[in-house]
Amino acid sequence: MARKLNTREKRILLLGVVSAVAIFVFTCGTKLFDDWRKARATLATAKRKLSDVETDKNRQAALAALVPVFETPHVEDKQKFLFREKLHEQLKKAGINTDPLQFLPVRKPRGVPYRVLKIKCKGKCKLDQLLDFLGNLKENPYCVGVEELRIQCDTKEPPEKRKDKQIEIDLVVSTFVK
């Protein structure tokens, strides 16, 4: 026949139960805490990635206005070819006569995830043609931007006679290569 536990036995039993519960809680708690920490890290990363996405309509519109098209950069040779062809086409379309396009050495600037390839062109055109070319340049899906532009008028001509006269231009435009 079972006997009743005395106070000391009850205390030991209680201590044992409390210890067992504490061990269980600690073990499970540690695992859960680790899971939680991982989950929070994953969540933070995902949130950071999502926060990089531009969701503001006005900013999206401004971005689209400034960069309406741009193709993911290709390897150097391919990008060189594509960029030069498109640039040549645009210059021709604007009616700008240039010397042969000249590639500048590829370099890797800091803070940009791609290497940069630049093309230099030198030529003569009317101011309207230049403006037309610059207006259409953003439609070039390989062009990053104008790196340098020099415009020089013929200073021998008096200002009132310069209209419709040719101007000299030195232009450097850039693209990204993989």
Partner 1 sequence: MSKGEKIPHAVVAVAREDARFKAVEVHRHDRQVEILWTRSLPADRQATWSGFASACGLTPDANHRDKVAKRHSPAVIGLDLTGVAFYRINAPVVDEHELAAIVRMQAESLLPLPPDQIEVAWRASPSTNGTADITIAAARREYLHKFAGNVRDLRPRNIFLSCEGTAKAWQSLFSAHERLVDADAVKSVRPRGLGSQAVLVSIGQENTQVCLVQDGLVTRAAVLDLSGAGLLHSAEGAQAGLLSEVMERFAHDLRAILSSFGWSESSPWPLFVLSDGSPVHQHVVESLNGAGLPAAVSVPSLRGLKTPSGFEARDVYEYRTLLGLALIALEKPGAALNLFGRVLEEQEQQKAASAWRSVALAGAAAVLMLIVLLVTVYLTDVASAKRWDALVKQPDFQAAVQQQALLKTVARHRPDILELLTEINAGQNDGVVLDSLHFKKGQTVSMSGQAGNMEQMWKYQANLREQKGIKDAEIQNATPDTKTKKIKFTMTVQYKEFTKKEAAL
The least CB distance from residue 16 to partner 1, in Å, is: 23
Q: Does 124 bind partner 1 (CB under 8 A)?
A: no
* Torsion angle (degrees, nearest 10) of CA 106, 110, 114, 115: 0
**Do residues 153 and 167 make contact, with C-beta atoms less than 8 angstroms apart?**
yes
Question: Which tokens hold the place of 32?
Answer: 């859960």
The least CB distance from residue 170 to partner 1, in Å, is: 8
The least CB distance from residue 4 to partner 1, in Å, is: 27
Q: Does 165 bind partner 1 (CB under 8 A)?
A: no
The least CB distance from residue 31 to partner 1, in Å, is: 12
Name which of residues 130 to 149 contact partner 1 (CB under 8 A).
Answer: 131, 134-135, 138, 144-149
Q: Does 151 bind partner 1 (CB under 8 A)?
A: yes
Instruction: Show the binding pattern over residues 31-70: x = contacts partner 1 (CB under 8 A), - = does not.
Output: -x--xx-xxx-xx-xxx-xx-xxx--------x--xx--x
Tell me whether residue 100 or residue 158 sits nearer to partner 1 (CB atom). Answer: 158
The least CB distance from residue 111 to partner 1, in Å, is: 8
**Do residues 164 and 126 make contact, with C-beta atoms less than 8 angstroms apart?**
yes
Q: How many residues does the chain have?
A: 178
**What is the residue-wise DSSP string for 72-93?**
PP--HHHHHHHHHHHHHHHHHH
Q: Does 9 bind partner 1 (CB under 8 A)?
A: no
Tell me whether residue 17 or residue 131 sits nearer to partner 1 (CB atom). Answer: 131
Q: Does 162 bind partner 1 (CB under 8 A)?
A: yes
Angle formed at CA 73 by CA 72 and CA 74, multiple of 5 degrees: 120
